[in-house]
Every structure is written in structure tokens, then in C-alpha cells.
Homo-oligomer: A and B are copies of this chain.
């Protein structure tokens, strides 16, 4: 027996019934973090892996070297994208209760992570999302109806009914197909970026994963390959504090930040306020410039909070305090941007209210149209297509099974 030893088990700061507590979260004031050049050496970036890059402060002011000085029209756009994302999330989430869709995963509270990054990148850059990045599609101006129809498995479903809701893809918009298997997209993004370098094309790749999923092998492979070949890729870890029921400490966030994994591979790691549109935009821009200039990969940790349940199958009140989100010190990304715009004089509470209403209406209309193409329980899709796309051409074997199926259907 050794009294010193016992298995150390990471603990969340609070469980249901206890008051929310974010004292574990290392913060930093807006504007405090220095901004090295995108060509900086790893050494010059090392502190950024453990500090927190923030631009918008609690009053809505934009501060410091990381302020990307976006034009107002850009900020209005970002606000709209985030609101559309949230409204769509809310609409489809509710439809799950009604049985029109089987399942849903919302991104509430994390909209800035996707929207600001997409805006900081170029259309030719390839995005490798996880299931909570619907904002990427929205910020690349995809009509939300496309996403809705996928969730509904209806006649306009881009996945032809084959995939669970939210497993979108968009070839034309350069957004990769989402996998149900966590983290697999990260090393694929690195491979995509390697090909870009081999072809000497200016496009870079950008991938996202949840902090919980960094424990998967793919995260390691992504860092290794990105480091070895200095691939033009941005790897984003969305640290929303939770992975289903387990706290980010169980993923390895207790003793070190996730951004800090980068420097261990010679890759800059930037820890950023994920609810701060300006900060997310700025770090993405920095990393993109670095990659495009031949400087290789960047690892970005986005500190945010999963405001909703993990999915419609989840009940977070079983494992965390009900009001945790309200106590989250980095707030709500939409409110943060709204406040910044109001502070800068380019927005008002009234205009905001009007915009919310406009978007709500628009989403309601879009949803109506989407539903008119069918819903999961009454899917108009032809099940015969289930035998397609296993291979480019159906093999004789699949042909036989298809015939068997047709015969049986009568």
C-alpha cells in the first residue's frame, strides 16, 4: 500500500445542484495578448498557447493588437450569420420533438467559432468541419434550406437520405463531408493541405474538432503530419468545456491547455476567446497568412461553452448545473458582438430586435418550404437509391441485391 498513490480523477468544478464555478478557466483581459507577425518563430508564439487572445472587452470595446479592424458591413454580416445559425438550430431542434427529424445537434453559444473563421478564410480554402460547425455553411452563404432538407431526409436532401441529421457536405462550397466518427477529419485536412502544397496552390485547409475528440488518434496524426511536412493547415480545437457528460479535464485539459499541444510539435498554439468574433477572425487570419506564406500549420484552441444539450438525445441536467452557461465568463458570442457594434455606434437594441425578428421569420418561411419537400417519417426518397454510391458503379453483387429488393417490394 502506498498512501501517496491513488488514481487521480479529474473533477468538474460543479455538478447538478451546485453553483456554477468557472474559476478554473484561465482568463486574460481583452487586448492584453501581443500579436507577433504571422512569420514569427515558434518561440515568439509560445505564450499565446497558455494565455487567452481577446479583442472585445466586457463593455464591447475592441482592444489591442489582435483587433482585425473589420469594416462595419463585415460585422453586420457576422451578426446576421450567427443569428441565422441560432435560429435555424432552434427551428430544427424543435422539429425533432415533433418527429419530423430523428435527431439534432445545435451549436448554440459557439456560433462565433464557425462564422468568424469562415469569414477570415477564402472561398477556395477547404473546410473540414465537425458536427457543430453549421455556421460554416451559413457564413459561406449557403441557403439554410439545404441544411434543413438534409435533416429532414427529404427530396432535397444532399445526402439522399443516407445520413443522420447534421452530417452535411458541400462540394461546391468547399466544405467537406462530416463524419460520425470523431476527429477523423483532422488528418484528412492535413492531407488535403499537403496536396495543395504539392500542387503549389494557394489554398489552405482548415479543420475543427471538439476538445473531447482531441484524445482520438487522429488528432495526433494530424499534428504529426502537419508538423513534419509543414502543411498549410489550421487545426481548431473547440473547447466548449464538455464532451457529452465529461468535463474537459477528462480529455486532458486539467493540467494544460489544448493549444499547448501545438508547441510540443513545433506548431504555434493560439488560445483564443471563442465567443469573440473579432478575436476568432484575427487568429484565423493570422494562421491563414502564416500557412499561405509557407509557414506551416497552426493549432487554435477556441474557448467557448456548449450552451445546449450535446444532442437531442442528451439531458445535461443530469451531469452539470442548469445555469452554467449563464455564469460562463466569456458570455454569448451574439451578445458580445451586438454590444461591440452598439459601442462602436453601428448598431442599436432596436435594430437588433428587428433583425432577430426578420431572421426568425425568414427561417420559419424557409422551414415551411423545406418541410414541403418531405419529412423523415414521410420521406419521398426512393429507397432503391440505397444501393448507389457504395461504389462508383454498382457491382454485380449489389445489382443482385437491388433486384432482390425490388422483387420483394413488388
Contact = CB atoms under 8 A, between A and B. Distances in A.
Given A6-B197, A217-B217, A292-B2, A256 B227 contact: yes
A250 interface: yes
Contacts of A231: 7
A197 B200 CA distance: 52
A221 interface: yes
B228 A252 contact: yes
A7 B229 contact: yes
B1 A200 contact: yes
Interface in A226-265: 227-232, 249-252, 254-256, 260-265
Contacts of A267: 255
Contact of A217 (B221, B264, B293): B221
A309 interface: no
Contacts of A220: 215, 217, 219-220
A289 to B, nearest CB: 11
Contacts of A249: 228
B229 A254 contact: no
Contacts of A263: 256, 260, 263-264
Contacts of A269: 264
Nearest to A194: B7
A169 B197 CA distance: 45
Given A250-B228, A264-B260, A8 B296 contact: yes
A135 interface: no
A390 interface: no
A224 B228 contact: no
Contacts of A251: 224, 228
Nearest to A1: B200
Interface string A1-20: 11111111110000000000
B266 A255 contact: yes
Contacts of A224: 215, 251-252
Given A2-B292, A4-B292, A202-B2, A265 B256 contact: yes
Contacts of A9: 229
Nearest to A227: B252
A198 interface: yes
B202 A5 contact: yes
Nearest to A204: B5
A52 to B, nearest CB: 17
Interface of A: 1-10, 42, 194, 196-198, 200-202, 215, 217, 219-221, 224, 227-232, 249-252, 254-256, 260-267, 269, 292-294, 296
Q: Which A-B residue pairs are the 4 nearest by beta carbons? A: A255-B266, A217-B217, A264-B264, A220-B220
Given A8-B294, A224-B251, 7 more contacts: A1-B201, A2-B201, A6-B198, A8-B197, A215-B224, A228-B250, A230-B255
